[in-house]
Amino acid sequence: MGARLLEGKEVADRIGKDLAVRIAALKEKGVVPGLAVIIVGDDPASVSYVTMKGKACQDLGMYSLTVREPADLREEALLHLIDELNRDPKVHGILVQLPVPGHIDVGKVIAAIDPKKDVDGFHPTNVGKMLIGEDGGFLPATPYGIHVMLSAYGIDVAGKHVVVVGRSNIVGKPMAAMLMQKGIDATVTVCHSRTRDLKAMTLQADVLISGIGKALFITADMVKEGAVVADAGSNRIDDPSTPKGYRFVGDVDFDNVKEKASAITPVPKGVGPMTIVMLMSNTVLAAEGSLER
């Protein structure tokens, strides 16, 4: 029969309509939510993501600032730029597109962003609030988007075994932290490159979430019958049959896994649109918070 498609784009469109109302209310008070994105270098995937974020801001009527810097930008110069944006009242959200070149200390860069403008949710202050379940911080957009999307489709993870494949600071770790919070109540296992017998672990998953960045890595024999599968991967592979000569696929072998899963996210139009709209949501929240300061 095949799995139900969890189309993040549909959920994101509904959230976008709500955001438009909140943005209009802010504009009546003289505030236009503003997002500044810094990209260092010209990594094709990063350029694509930054372009999508700028378009999303434009579509919602938000202020968008994209700062493009060469790959040899000095760390000190980047920190100075972040400081300027921290003090810019037109900018409510700041993110530095990752990855950055190797000579730049990512930890220093993230820590330099004002936590009240850290709409990526990576600053230690926001990570700490997320971990202890304290309100008032920002949640990382991709895992936040997955959680919101599952809820929108009526998929309750309470008491379920959720297996997260990947332990990155961007997806895996925050995903696990969110789902284990009281009130969400999932039982979470995090798997990674040193996990013994990964297949044995994934086969236990009621909900399987992958964010490892390996094309088509999760195969049908790794998925339990009837499981829910959320694919946070976006991997470029060669495909001469397409006009561009390539296409994007997820971490999951979608065509085969969909025959075993009860529900699954496609790539594209699955997790990706949710990541973008939750980033916009965080920026609007930051703008609303600026009225209270």
Q: Which of 267, 278, 201, 277 is nearest to 233 (CA)?
A: 267
Paired tokens of 5:
């498609």
Catalytic residue among 117, 118, 120, 260: 120
Paired tokens of 1:
């029969």
Q: Which of 165, 149, 146, 191 is nearest to 251 (CA)?
A: 165
Q: Is residue 97 among the annotated active site residues?
A: yes
Say how far residue 85 (Cα) sits from the centre of its chain. 22
Catalytic residue among 97, 129, 173, 258: 97
End-to-end CA distance of the chain: 54
Measured CA angle at 56 (ends 228, 154), to 5 deg: 25
Paired tokens of 143:
């895992």
Q: Which of 86, 232, 208 is nearest to 157 (CA)?
A: 208
Residues 6+ positions from 140 with CB-CB distance below 8 Å = 120, 121, 122, 130, 170, 171, 174
Helix (H) or strand (E) run with residue 135 in it:
none
Backbone angles phi, psi at 84, to 5 degrees: -65, -40
**Whole-Å CA distances, 212 to 16, 19, 138, 144, 202:** 28, 30, 23, 17, 14
Residues 6+ positions from 50 with CB-CB distance below 8 Å = 37, 39, 66, 97
Q: Is residue 204 among the annotated active site residues?
A: no
Catalytic residue among 53, 116, 129, 260: 53
**Whole-Å CA distances, 250 to 164, 219, 268, 272:** 15, 11, 8, 10
- Which residues are part of the catalytic machinery? 53, 97, 120
